[in-house]
């Protein structure tokens, strides 16, 4: 996908705006990715973890985490003069999944972040987007000290269709996050073209 500046002469450009979700399990790096790439100060709805929430908020593998998203994260990035992405980070815990339906309305696609130490935590997100035919890719967030696995090993572990991209990323790094978003847009465009209903069909 070419991302050079289009030639529009002196005419003002009305940008196309696309909505993208960033989903995945608890503590996988959704807030971090949105914050790394957003050109505006991201809107965050984080609350501190409490002892009362310990039985339902599994912090295994992310013991240092002391906050959690309770509604959504929101950010924006301009990829070109005529292309702006709005990013919505979904809450990871099961008790907030009721919000996913509203957040996914009108979305072009989704990034499902995965942590190889807790790969099962992204099963719910994968299942959600598969069932609703929303194009998505899986981005493995390469945490420091976590084992690295080939993309195909992750694909098999998640039982993904062959057409679903699996990429490695560092959610803290702006360029890495940008590459993930570009990859999703390319995948979503292919997916939409392949699943477009013929006229009169």
Tens of pLDDT, residue by residue over 66-95, are 455 445 789 999 988 899 999 999 886 666
Tens of pLDDT, residue by residue over 1-21, are 555 555 555 666 788 999 999
- Does a structural domain hold residue 6? no
- Does a structural domain hold residue 4? no
Tens of pLDDT, residue by residue over 16-72, are 999 999 999 888 999 999 999 999 988 766 455 444 444 444 545 445 444 554 457
- Does a structural domain hold residue 200? no
Alpha carbons 187 and 173: distance in angstroms, whole number? 21
- Does a structural domain hold residue 1? no
With 0-12 / 13-18 / 19 or more C-beta atoms within 10 angstroms meaning exposed / middle / buried, residue 1 is: exposed
- Does a structural domain hold residue 44? yes
Which of the 8 DSSP states describes residue 29? Answer: S
Domain count, the chain: 1
- Does a structural domain hold residue 111? yes
Find the helix packing angle between 30-37 and 174-195, rounded to 10°.
Answer: 100
- Does a structural domain hold residue 48? yes
With 0-12 / 13-18 / 19 or more C-beta atoms within 10 angstroms meaning exposed / middle / buried, residue 140 is: buried
**Tokens 């099961």, residue located:** 94
**Confidence at 149, pLDDT banded by 50, 70, 90:** very high
Domain that holds residue 106: 16-195
- Does a structural domain hold residue 3? no
- Residue 175 sits in a domain of what CATH number? 3.40.50.300
With 0-12 / 13-18 / 19 or more C-beta atoms within 10 angstroms meaning exposed / middle / buried, residue 89 is: buried
């Amino acid at each position: 996908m070419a991302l050079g500046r289009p030639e529009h002469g002196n005419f003002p450009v009305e940008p196309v705006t696309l909505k993208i979700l960033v989903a995945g399990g608890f503590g996988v790096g959704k807030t971090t990715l949105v914050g790394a790439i957003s050109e505006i100060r991201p809107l965050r709805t984080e609350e501190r973890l409490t002892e009362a929430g310990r039985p339902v908020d599994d912090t295994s593998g992310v013991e240092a985490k002391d906050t959690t998203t309770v509604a959504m994260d929101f950010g924006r990035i301009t990829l070109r003069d005529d292309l702006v992405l709005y990013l919505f980070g979904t809450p990871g815990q099961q008790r907030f999944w009721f919000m996913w339906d509203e957040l996914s309305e009108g979305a072009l696609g989704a990034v499902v972040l995965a942590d190889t130490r807790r790969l099962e935590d992204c099963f719910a997100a994968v299942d959600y987007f598969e069932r609703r035919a929303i194009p998505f890719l899986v981005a493995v967030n390469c945490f420091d000290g976590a084992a690295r696995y080939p993309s195909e090993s992750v694909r098999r572990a998640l039982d993904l269709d062959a057409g679903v991209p699996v990429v490695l990323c560092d959610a803290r790094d702006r360029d890495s996050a940008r590459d993930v978003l570009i990859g999703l847009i390319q995948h979503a465009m292919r997916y939409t073209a392949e699943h477009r209903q013929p006229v009169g069909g």
